[in-house]
Amino acid sequence: MAAAAPRHTDEKPAGRTACRGAHTRDLLALRKHNAAVLRAIPDLILVLDRRGRILDCNHNQDLFELDIDECLGRTVEDLLPGQTAARLLDHVRRALESDTLQVFENRCSLLHYRQRHCEFRLVAMDERQVMVIIRDITERRKVETALRVGEERYRLLVETMNEGLVALNPEGRITFVNPAFSALSGRRRTELLGSAVQDLLPAESRHRYMRAIRNPAAPATHPFRVSFTTNRGRRRHALVSPRPLYDDAGNLRGSLSVFSDITDLVRTTRRLQKREDELENKSRHLEESNIALKVLLKRKLEDEDELKNDVLQNVKELVHPYIDKLRRSRLNANQQAHLDTLAANLEEIVSPFVRNLTNGYLRLTPQEIRIANYIRQGRTTKEIADSLNLSPRTVDAHRNSIRRKLGINKKRVHLQTYLQSMSDEKRL
């Protein structure tokens, strides 16, 4: 900024002239110092009078795209938009009248930019002059706007997220909760703020939770389940993911915890487990019933075999002798035909497989008939011996006798298969 040149008078004494020379050098040095300071300041600095006329400015006058000489003597109304200039003049009058710092912000068109956002700071230098510092804060405003938008998005996310979010201070006191956690805990925000979050947790989860939010050396904690009771006595369940927060020096600043409500999942799991237990009990009862039914079926088959053997034996001993006698008697043709029909029908009903056996089968003893039925069912020699209270040797002897009477003793035929095949032919 310009400074008035010192006056020199030749009529002064030599000593006084020397003082003035030293004083002039000091003023020049001070002027250089002030000029250096002004050049180092990135802001535009103006000196205005009450009417807004520019008396002086620093090197940043290029905001107006004018040289210093072109700026000096002009008014702010010549260089700034009308509304900005009017507001600046109003604050010039306030600074002169109140002798206090005046600060305001305003949009204005400078340079080749369409719009810039500037901060104006005014202070009275004396009763006639005001120093104005104009700082371009466009980028700062952009950053602030971006931060504000980001904060608004974050707030919207936090306020609308389904998971509960809890912020704690280093002492473990709640400093923030979102609506989801308030609903999960069944408590109002005013009740939660300032309280200790561990007081909401059961004893079995409290230690693990506090260790997770306070131990800087601990690895990332996997979500773990916690349960707590609301102020209405309802049991709630959640998965919690706590994370400690540290500053650059490694000091604990607090923690953040996310609570995911799994109450419905826990209840569903319990219902499914109860259902599985019921099904397991029913399955066990069915197995027991199945075993009992198998025992009954086995007994029934044995009784059927016993009945069949008894019928065969009775027919053999009580009916066949008389049929043989009738055949040897003198019968007419009609009587003989009736007797043949009787014998055929009798053979049809006495056994499911007798019809396809050779006549030699009817010569089997009752014991051999029983053993033949067991063999047809796939019983082993030991099982047959145990069922009939016989020795295995006796059963083997009966096997050989049965094969001989059926005419397959010299053939490579499996006795069980042979007996089953005759039974299958009967069913066909």
Share of the chain above pLDDT 70, in %: 83
Give the residue with greater pLDDT, 14 vs 97: 97
Mean pLDDT across the stretch 368-375?
A: 82
Q: Is residue 22 over pLDDT 90?
A: no
Q: Is residue 6 over pLDDT 50?
A: no
Domain covering 25-141 in this structure, CATH number: 3.30.450.20
Q: What is residue 10's three-state secondary structure? A: coil
Mean pLDDT across the stretch 139-166?
A: 87
HSE toward the beta carbon, residue 143, CA cutoff 13 A: 4
Mean pLDDT across the stretch 48-70?
A: 74
Mean per-residue pLDDT over the chain, rounded: 79
Binning pLDDT at 50, 70 and 90, where does residue 355 land? Answer: very low
Binning pLDDT at 50, 70 and 90, where does residue 8 land? Answer: very low
Q: Is residue 3 over pLDDT 50?
A: no
Residue ranges of the chain that CATH labels 3.30.450.20? 25-141, 161-261
What angle, rounded to 10 degrees, do the helices at 366-376 and 381-388 form?
140
Lowest mean pLDDT among 45-59, 160-174, 299-313: 299-313
Q: Is residue 359 over pLDDT 70?
A: no
**Which of the given ranges, 85-94, 112-121, 361-370, has the highest pLDDT on average?**
85-94
Give the residue with greater pLDDT, 309 vs 105: 105
pLDDT digits (tens, 9 = 90+) for 212-268: 777 655 554 578 888 877 777 788 888 888 888 888 888 888 888 888 888 888 888
Q: Is residue 76 over pLDDT 70?
A: yes
What is the reported pLDDT for 96? Answer: 92
Q: How far is CA 125 from CA 42, 47, 88, 378, in A?
A: 21, 9, 16, 124
CB-based contact 234:186 (threshold 8 Å): yes
CATH superfamily of 161-261: PAS domain (3.30.450.20)
How many Cβ atoms are within 10 Å of 411's Cβ, its own excluded?
9
pLDDT digits (tens, 9 = 90+) for 162-217: 888 989 888 888 999 999 988 888 888 888 898 887 778 877 777 777 777 776 55
- What CA–CA distance (Å, rounded) separates 132 from 102? 9
Q: Is residue 350 over pLDDT 70?
A: no
**Secondary structure (DSSP) of 279-336:** HHHHHHHHHHHHHHHHHHHHHHHHHHHHHHHHHHHHIIIIIHHHHHHHHHS---HHHH
What is the reported pLDDT for 204? Answer: 73
Q: Is residue 317 over pLDDT 90?
A: no
The answer for residues whose C-beta is within 8 angstroms of residue 277's C-beta and 6 or more apart is: none
What is the reported pLDDT for 131? Answer: 92
What is the reported pLDDT for 356? Answer: 45
**Residues paired with 164 in a beta bridge:** 259
Mean pLDDT across the stretch 74-103?
A: 89
